Amino acid sequence: MPTSRAPARPTTPRTAGARPASRRRGPGWVPREHGAWAMLVVPVLVGGVLTSPTWRTALLLVTWLTAYLAFHATGLWLRASRRPRYLPPVRAYATALVLLGGTLLATAPGLLRWAPVYGALLATSLVCSLRRADRSWLNDGVTVGAAVLMTVVSAGLGHDGTPPATALTGTWVPPGADDPAAWAVTAVLAGYFFGTVPYVKTLLRERGNRAVLSVSVAWHALLVVAAVAVLAVQVTHERAAGSIAVAVALVVAAAGLLARAVLVPRRRPWPSPRAIGFGEIAATLAVTAAALAVPALAAPSLVG
């Protein structure tokens, strides 16, 4: 007796290399702002090098990157009107952050003295996300400020960092905040990373906007003026040759950034995102090298 079979269900051909819908990763897990990683990593590494890095420096870096992932996922969740599908990465990264941050604070409770500063920066940025103004100048500035300030925070965790980050009481000064060299290096990194905000806008979202181009060029011109002023001080006070060489390097770096801000947005055809990324890598490496040499500017003069 013949058995009857149900008609075969039509199948939809699967595109080669495509993931099944059930295995696709939801939104919020991987940030799309690839250029942010250098801004997150460089200040922590530079601050650690300034005062001789310890294992706490590595823990700070991992915690800081996890905090960024949690921050990005939370901002996306807020902009999406708190839809449930955006919540899993928020929970996952927040849990990891609590574990890592708790371990870091248990070994360096002095970092809690930075809490008011970073609390204010975080609150401002989250309000921007809630208002869907995450691409605003204010939010970009707050994000860059939080990142470059990690230079000082990281310096406070090194072998030579003062005051001791392992003590919670005894001083109100956050770890690293009383280190002039750390602030000088932070100023160099801030000049560069703040300048990337209008510069990148001239190449992507604000391409062809003359006002934004003017802001970018003016900012980088001010960096040249500041670098020339540093060189003039070094020469006037007859500093050692090494100090003058560092000041010259700062002038060269600032002039290169100014030339980039003027010429690249005028290039036709427009540079590809990949070319922009490689250019930023080169610029970041050059500025980082110059920043690490900045403490040499405090070398004694040749006279007196």
Give the angle subtended at the CA of 8 by the CAs of 7 and 13, to the nearest 5°. 155
Measured distance CA(122)–CA(180) in Å, rounded = 25
> Does residue 239 sit in helix, strand or coil?
strand
Write down the pLDDT at residue 8.
Answer: 45
Residue 140 near residue 197 (C-beta atoms within 8 A) = yes
Written as six digits, the tokens of 156 are 């406070």
Digit-coded pLDDT (tens) for 40-92:
999 999 999 999 999 999 999 999 999 999 999 998 998 888 899 999 999 99
Write down the pLDDT at residue 218.
Answer: 98
Measured distance CA(92)–CA(100) in Å, rounded = 12
Measured distance CA(227)–CA(193) in Å, rounded = 16
Written as six digits, the tokens of 81 are 């009107």
Write down the pLDDT at residue 81.
Answer: 86
Quick one: average pLDDT of 120-136?
90
Quick one: average pLDDT of 129-147?
91
Q: Is the pLDDT of residue 163 over 90?
A: no
- Looking from the CA of 38 toward its CB, the CA atoms found within 13 Å total 19
Written as six digits, the tokens of 120 are 């204010």
| Alpha helices (H) along the chain | 36-50, 55-79, 87-107, 115-130, 137-155, 180-203, 210-236, 241-263, 273-293
Residue 239 β-bridge partners: 301
pLDDT interval class at 299 (50, 70, 90): low
Write down the pLDDT at residue 291.
Answer: 95
Q: Is the pLDDT of residue 280 over 50?
A: yes
Give the angle subtended at the CA of 6 by the CAs of 3 and 7, to the nearest 5°. 125
Measured distance CA(118)–CA(283) in Å, rounded = 27
Digit-coded pLDDT (tens) for 235-275:
998 888 889 999 999 999 999 999 999 999 998 888 887 88
**What are the CB-based long-range contacts (under 8 Å, 24+) for 70-75?**
70/94, 70/96, 70/97, 71/122, 71/125, 72/28, 72/31, 72/33, 73/28, 73/29, 74/126, 74/129, 75/125, 75/126, 75/129, 75/134
Work out the mean pLDDT of the chain and round it to a whole number.
Answer: 88
- Is the pLDDT higher at 4 or at 61? 61
Q: Which of 29-33, 100-104, 115-119, 284-288 has the lowest mean pLDDT?
A: 29-33
Q: What is the DSSP string of 87-99?
A: HHHHHHHHHHHHH
Q: Is the pLDDT of residue 10 over 50?
A: no
Write down the pLDDT at residue 103.
Answer: 97
pTM of the model: 0.88
Digit-coded pLDDT (tens) for 183-234:
999 999 999 999 999 999 999 889 999 999 999 999 999 999 999 999 999 9
* Spacing of C-alpha 16 from chain mean position: 37
* CA-to-CA separations, 283 to 82, 101, 288, in angstroms, rounded: 38, 31, 8
Which of 60, 64, 63, 298 shows the shortest CA–CA distance to 158? 60
